[in-house]
A and B are shown apart, each in its own frame.
Chain A
Amino acid sequence: MKMDMSQYLGVFLEESKEHLGNLNEQLLNLEKNPGNLAALNEIFRAAHTLKGMSSTMGFEDLADLTHHLEDVLSDLKEGLLQPDTYVVDTLFQCLDRVQSIISQIESNGSAEYNNQDLIAILNSIKNQNYTGDIQLIEDKQKPATAQTEEPSIELDFNEYELTVMEEAACKNYQIVAIRVAVDPGSLMKSVRAFMVFKVLEEDSEVIKSIPAVTDLEDGKFDETFDVVVITKTPLPVLIDRLEHISEIRVDSSHLVNIDQLPLHRDDIDVMKSDQKTTEQVDTKRNHKIKQTVRVDIDRLDNLMNLVGELVMHKGRLGQIASNRRIVELNETIEQIDRISTDLQSVVMKVRMVPIEQVFNRFPRMVRDLAKELNKEIEFIMEGKETELDRTVIDEIGDPLIHLLRNAIDHGLESPSVRTQKGKPRIGTIILRARHEGNSVFIEVEDDGAGIQIERVKNKAVAKGIITAKEAEEMTAEQAVDLLFSPGFSTAENITDVSGRGVGLDVVKSKIESLNGEIQVDSKPGQGTKFVVKLPLTLAIIQALMVAVRDEIYAIPLSTVNETTMLSSEDIRLIQNQEVIVLRGNVLPLYRLDSLLEVPGETVSDESYVVVVYKGNKQIGLVVDRLIGQQEIVIKSLGKVLAGTPGIAGAIVAGDGNVRLILDIDTLF
């Protein structure tokens, strides 16, 4: 009999996402620093837990994949394998697969995935049917023979590479092995190596290099290195191109005949003993794990309600005490006052989560995008510990992903353009979060080309968003604002990354729906900075309380521009529409009492105008009285009344009565 696991599904999903995030992060660390055993241990642990969880939950495909993953990781940990580019890339691919399995489980409740492809690769890695860093040792021993008996370059391929080559051969590509020599006097071997790759990758694919690419980029090679290339370009042309790079010489080259390739198994005893010592050092550094409890967010909301209620009744108690003049009671009430204030702030804090949760998935994304777009990026994150309300955290991920993609795709120039301009070839993207007052600022900054105002204008004219005349009169700031208009995308060629029609306008409306703001700061040639300002929590906003006859309403302060007194002689009629002239601007007036069909009669002849924004238009709302500004806790109206036009939600006022919050956008 199978146990019903559905009640644990939520926990499973939540935890596996957490582990996955952790895996990605640590794998990136490992990629940067292959000797980082702490990261490796962390990866192993997370993968192990993931395996256990998925097999408990009965997701066999996932368990199977993570099992094989764990095998490889275990060998890595033991030092039987080396985390070279190929292995790390494979691990990343596995994580992507795990990710898609988990998403499928999330939407369908179950997942069936055929993971044989990845498992085969994992097995080949485990059986060391591939070469990589291991080849390094051998390579150093062999140059002597290779150089004397010229053309043949010693190569070993793993199963994956063999498959790729077989496929390539079928499609009439030729497989070429090239030994490249760098001038011994060269000061920047790594740059030369990179340029070799750059030239090769113009129309060919490099499937293997010895040493591995990462080592080449770090300059960890002697005077020569070997690459295996799949290409249709004739070999002499390729060699000619390569020799055009200064300080580069092609030592030898030959076509590879895949039928004659032996499978390679290596003896790695030397590495093993070497690795053990470092491992012993690292295992001593054990991880501290923070103790946490998972709580349903509804329960927290409930707790918050109850605390609010407590505060309200405390107020009543105070009233009784002062009415009856009971001095002893006052002291107790003061105590209760202090405790309930503390309680309220504790409950608020419980809902706060560090933005780290969102940020953590970005390094991986940036890495992948950078590879895909052939850009070199240093990605810096600051202020990961900044805390935001859980509800905001859940919503902010997508807009930030979009801004980052924009920065990588449109912002940063390609390395060659950057060097031409005299900038460092590696572009920098900074993601920064910080607190300021009651807001959190998140900035996405790049040191790319900046926004080219003329191009933006031309594009907007071409897309019919503005006319040529408007474009001429536009200030730079207004032009930058065009980026946020619907249907705008400056990418000249539509890439897979951004410019899919979903533009910055979506980002903007998302942020505004969170009561936030977005601004752009751009210096041509120096970079662009997007600044997103968000409230600490969605639940609390500043509001202006107004009275209409006997009813009281709250207007979100973010929509209020100003308030002014209204005397009846100021009102004029234009085509039956009441308007006033406010500092030279004609302002249409709407009477809240008739808009909301408030019962009763207006007695006072004094009234006020609240000037509000509806989109980018200004409108005057006529009310009887202004009560004042208040910090309010927004509550939902519930399923039955949700979507009532003009009403955004409700609050519980200090006297225990419910007041409604107006939604200016749907009021008219």
Chain B
Amino acid sequence: MEDVINMRVDDGYQEGEEIQVVAFRLGNEEYAVDILYVQEIIRLLNITRVPRSAQHIEGVVNLRGSIIPIANLHSRFNLQLSDNQDDKRIIVFKFDEVQVGIIVDEVSEVLRIHQNDIEAADKVYGTLEADHIKGIAKVGERLLILLDLAKIFEAGW
């Protein structure tokens, strides 16, 4: 887990104008979430299917005795799952005492992103999906989709 955390501390920005995010890959797209919501990143555990739950709920896992639901954003965002099982991780989020994990194809790094580098979502997306997206962050040549976790949690996944 340690190898993915690659802090870029000295990038010349002022404190407060930037946010730290965890960047990860879903299919061929790169996403990022505010690090404040991330509780931990774990390797893939045995996921138990929950019958009759919503389509994008993959199942539940046992995380040190707590039962945590695992969501599958691939099916939610219509993305292809990668075949490489080794790089797959579960990012566990915590928001208002509710824990949810999502399966990602790869966790790439922890980044600092300046507010100026974030484009508002509605410029890029249609109205529907923009609900769950805070904006698009430009990091060098890369484009990261910034997820609005608070909204996803409030919508009840």
Question: A644: which B residues are within 8 A, CB to CB?
Answer: 50-53
Question: A305: which B residues are within 8 A, CB to CB?
Answer: 64-66
* A659 to B46 Cα, complex, angstroms: 11
Within 8 A of A (CB), among B55-80: 57, 59-62, 64-69
* A618 to B98 Cα, complex, angstroms: 38
Of listed B46, B49, B60, residue having the most chain A CB within 10 A? B60
Whether, in the assembled complex, B137 has its beta carbon less than 8 Å from a beta carbon of chain A, the answer is: no
Question: A650: which B residues are within 8 A, CB to CB?
Answer: 48, 60, 67
* A646 to B51 Cα, complex, angstroms: 9
Within 8 A of B (CB), among A638-668: 638-641, 644-647, 650, 652, 656-660
Question: B57: which A residues are within 8 A, CB to CB?
Answer: 640-641
* A305 to B50 Cα, complex, angstroms: 21
Question: A637: which B residues are within 8 A, CB to CB?
Answer: 50, 60, 67, 69
Whether, in the assembled complex, A331 has its beta carbon less than 8 Å from a beta carbon of chain B, the answer is: no
Chain A's interface size range is 20 to 34
CB distance from B116 to the nearest CB of A (A): 35
Whether, in the assembled complex, B100 has its beta carbon less than 8 Å from a beta carbon of chain A, the answer is: yes
CB distance from B96 to the nearest CB of A (A): 9
On whether A306 and B50 interact (CB within 8 A), knowing A640-B98, A640-B100, A641-B57, the answer reads no
Contacting residue for B67 out of A304, A597, A635, CB 8 A:
A635
CB distance from B98 to the nearest CB of A (A): 5
Contact at B62–A660, with CB atoms within 8 Å?
no
Question: A636: which B residues are within 8 A, CB to CB?
Answer: 67
* A460 to B124 Cα, complex, angstroms: 68
Contacting residue for A658 out of B52, B64, B67, B156, CB 8 A:
B67
Contact at B100–A597, with CB atoms within 8 Å?
no
Question: B65: which A residues are within 8 A, CB to CB?
Answer: 304-306, 308-309, 635, 652
On whether A660 and B48 interact (CB within 8 A), knowing A640-B57, A641-B53, A641-B69, the answer reads yes
CB-CB contacts of B91-123 with A at 8 A, as 1s and 0s? 000000011100000000000000000000000
Whether, in the assembled complex, A223 has its beta carbon less than 8 Å from a beta carbon of chain B, the answer is: no
Contacting residue for B52 out of A304, A309, A645, A656, CB 8 A:
A645
* A644 to B53 Cα, complex, angstroms: 6
Whether, in the assembled complex, A551 has its beta carbon less than 8 Å from a beta carbon of chain B, the answer is: yes
Closest to A656 in B: B62
Closest to B100 in A: A640
* A645 to B50 Cα, complex, angstroms: 10
Whether, in the assembled complex, B125 has its beta carbon less than 8 Å from a beta carbon of chain A, the answer is: no
Whether, in the assembled complex, B13 has its beta carbon less than 8 Å from a beta carbon of chain A, the answer is: no
* A641 to B69 Cα, complex, angstroms: 7
CB-CB contacts of A488-513 with B at 8 A, as 1s and 0s? 00000000000000000000000000
CB distance from B135 to the nearest CB of A (A): 25
Whether, in the assembled complex, A596 has its beta carbon less than 8 Å from a beta carbon of chain B, the answer is: yes
Question: A658: which B residues are within 8 A, CB to CB?
Answer: 46, 48, 59-62, 67
Chain B's interface size range is 20 to 34
* Total number of residue pairs linking A and B with CB closer than 8 Å: 76
* A656 to B48 Cα, complex, angstroms: 11
On whether A551 and B60 interact (CB within 8 A), knowing A305-B66, A637-B67, the answer reads no
CB distance from B157 to the nearest CB of A (A): 5
* A192 to B65 Cα, complex, angstroms: 69
B-side binding surface: helix, strand, loop or mixed? Answer: strand
Question: B52: which A residues are within 8 A, CB to CB?
Answer: 596-597, 644-647
Contact at A640–B69, with CB atoms within 8 Å?
yes
* A663 to B51 Cα, complex, angstroms: 12
CB distance from B101 to the nearest CB of A (A): 10
* A647 to B50 Cα, complex, angstroms: 8
Question: B61: which A residues are within 8 A, CB to CB?
Answer: 658
* A652 to B68 Cα, complex, angstroms: 11
CB-CB contacts of B9-42 with A at 8 A, as 1s and 0s? 0000000000000000000000000000000000
Question: B67: which A residues are within 8 A, CB to CB?
Answer: 635-638, 650, 652, 658
Question: A306: which B residues are within 8 A, CB to CB?
Answer: 64-65
Closest to B99 in A: A638
CB distance from A315 to the nearest CB of B (A): 14
* A644 to B65 Cα, complex, angstroms: 21
Contact at B46–A597, with CB atoms within 8 Å?
no
* A598 to B157 Cα, complex, angstroms: 23
Contact at A660–B98, with CB atoms within 8 Å?
no
On whether A640 and B156 interact (CB within 8 A), knowing A309-B64, A656-B62, the answer reads yes
Contact at B69–A638, with CB atoms within 8 Å?
yes
CB distance from A622 to the nearest CB of B (A): 15
Of listed B46, B51, B52, B157, residue having the most chain A CB within 10 A? B51
* A599 to B50 Cα, complex, angstroms: 12
Contact at B46–A656, with CB atoms within 8 Å?
yes
Of listed B52, B59, B69, B98, residue having the most chain A CB within 10 A? B52
Closest to A633 in B: B65
* A595 to B51 Cα, complex, angstroms: 9
* A657 to B48 Cα, complex, angstroms: 7
CB distance from B124 to the nearest CB of A (A): 28
Contact at B62–A652, with CB atoms within 8 Å?
yes
Question: B62: which A residues are within 8 A, CB to CB?
Answer: 652, 656-658
Question: B46: which A residues are within 8 A, CB to CB?
Answer: 656-658
Contacting residue for B48 out of A599, A635, A659, CB 8 A:
A659
Question: A638: which B residues are within 8 A, CB to CB?
Answer: 67-69, 98-99
CB distance from A644 to the nearest CB of B (A): 5
Question: B99: which A residues are within 8 A, CB to CB?
Answer: 638
CB distance from A634 to the nearest CB of B (A): 10
CB distance from A606 to the nearest CB of B (A): 23
CB distance from B56 to the nearest CB of A (A): 11
CB distance from A637 to the nearest CB of B (A): 6
* A640 to B48 Cα, complex, angstroms: 15
Closest to A659 in B: B48
Within 8 A of B (CB), among A600-630: none
CB distance from A312 to the nearest CB of B (A): 9
CB distance from B91 to the nearest CB of A (A): 15
* A635 to B68 Cα, complex, angstroms: 11
On whether A639 and B66 interact (CB within 8 A), knowing A596-B52, A598-B51, A660-B50, the answer reads no
* A639 to B49 Cα, complex, angstroms: 17
* A645 to B49 Cα, complex, angstroms: 14
11 inter-chain pairs at a CB distance below 8 angstroms, sorted by A residue, are A304-B65, A596-B51, A598-B51, A635-B65, A635-B66, A638-B67, A640-B100, A641-B69, A644-B50, A645-B52, A660-B60
New A-B contacts (15) at CB < 8 Å, excluding given A638-B69, A641-B60, A656-B62: A304-B65, A308-B65, A309-B64, A598-B51, A640-B69, A640-B98, A641-B57, A644-B51, A646-B51, A647-B51, A652-B62, A656-B46, A658-B61, A660-B51, A660-B60
Pairs of residues from A and B, 3 with the lowest C-beta to C-beta distance, nearest first: A305-B65, A596-B51, A658-B48
Q: Which residues of B contact A (CB under 8 A)?
A: 46, 48-53, 57, 59-62, 64-69, 98-100, 156-157
